[in-house]
Chain A
Amino acid sequence: MFHDVGSKGYISLEELKAKEDYPTVERLEKGPIAIIECLQDIPCNPCQDACPVGAIKFSQQDITGIPLLDQEACLGCKKCISSCPGQAIFVVDYSFSEELGTLTFPYEYLPLPQEGAELPGVSREGKEVCPVTVVKVEQRPNLNKTALVTIAVPKEYLEIVRFIKYRRDGVSNE
């Protein structure tokens, strides 16, 4: 019930991919799509309300169910990312270029990364994986202070990288 996240502190790729709604390779290659990394039945559903096309459904009638993505319906529009109090939704796009895909993730730190900057990309565990390039940084009033950062990541690491190395005022996470 508590999955790997309860013993390690992060979701393992295996259990994420074992979830019935994990997008197929064909769907991933088509274009941007949400990856919902929320596996526990907590009472919560703003992601469902945020989605303009109703692509997020719940495994149960009430809000405690686990969110499930309708991969054909999802447009990859990123609207659900900042709605999620758990910061558990990412959007990946394998169609970005030949070698690179993009990852969009929620970011609530200052300073915001600069577009064009090259930074270390880190895994769900916070380990450095590979250098990534910041493609886009979005901050708008309706995001309610959760910025959206999009980075370009070599495709072979796109399911592993989930964040950038966090650094602030000389304080680092090392």
Chain B
Amino acid sequence: MCRIINHPIVEREERKNVTIYVDGKKLEAKEGEMIAAALLANNIHTFRYTKKQREPRGIFCGIGQCNDCVMIVDGVPNTRTCVTPVRDGMVITTQKGLGKIGDHNAL
């Protein structure tokens, strides 16, 4: 787990847990946090594979600029996970290539 529990400077309010499904696995996330944060907290670092070379990609800019972190979220491919908050019951899938609409290859 890489959640920062006790920080000397930043105080964080307790947030409710929600459930997300990542490649079919049930995982815990914090209400309102970004998908990418929830994945890193669950030790997931590879978010997609590129179209041609099948290379892994993860977080790069962290603020919605580079598109490296895109995944299929509730059936919508190319969703930037670093700027999209989680929702209880959200279905998230590692994207391979450009992704197809409605691509729930995990379910």
A residues at B contact (CB < 8 Å): 108-111, 145
A108: B residues at CB distance < 8 A: 8-9
The reply on B54 being an interface residue by CB < 8 A is: no
Residues of B within 8 A of A111 (CB): 6
Instruction: Decide if B16 is an interface residue (CB 8 Å cutoff).
Output: no
The SS class assigned to the A binding surface is loop
A110 to B9, CA, bound (A): 9
**How many pairs of A and B residues are in contact by the CB < 8 Å rule?**
9
CB contacts (< 8 Å) of A110 on chain B: these are 6-8
A37 vs B102: C-alpha distance when bound (angstroms): 60
Which A residues are CB-close (under 8 A) to B6? 110-111
- Which residues of A have CB within 8 Å of B7? 110
Known: A108-B8, A111-B6. 7 other contacts (CB 8 A): A108-B9, A109-B8, A110-B6, A110-B7, A110-B8, A145-B8, A145-B9
Most buried by A among B6, B7, B8, B9: B8
Closest Cβ of chain B to A105, distance in Å, is 15
When distances are taken between beta carbons in the complex, the residues of chain A under 8 Å from B9 are 108, 145
Within 8 A of A (CB), among B4-36: 6-9
How far is the CB of A108 from the nearest CB of chain B, in Å?
A: 5
Query: Measured between alpha carbons, how far is A77 from B99 in the docked complex, in Å?
Result: 64
A6 to B6, CA, bound (A): 33
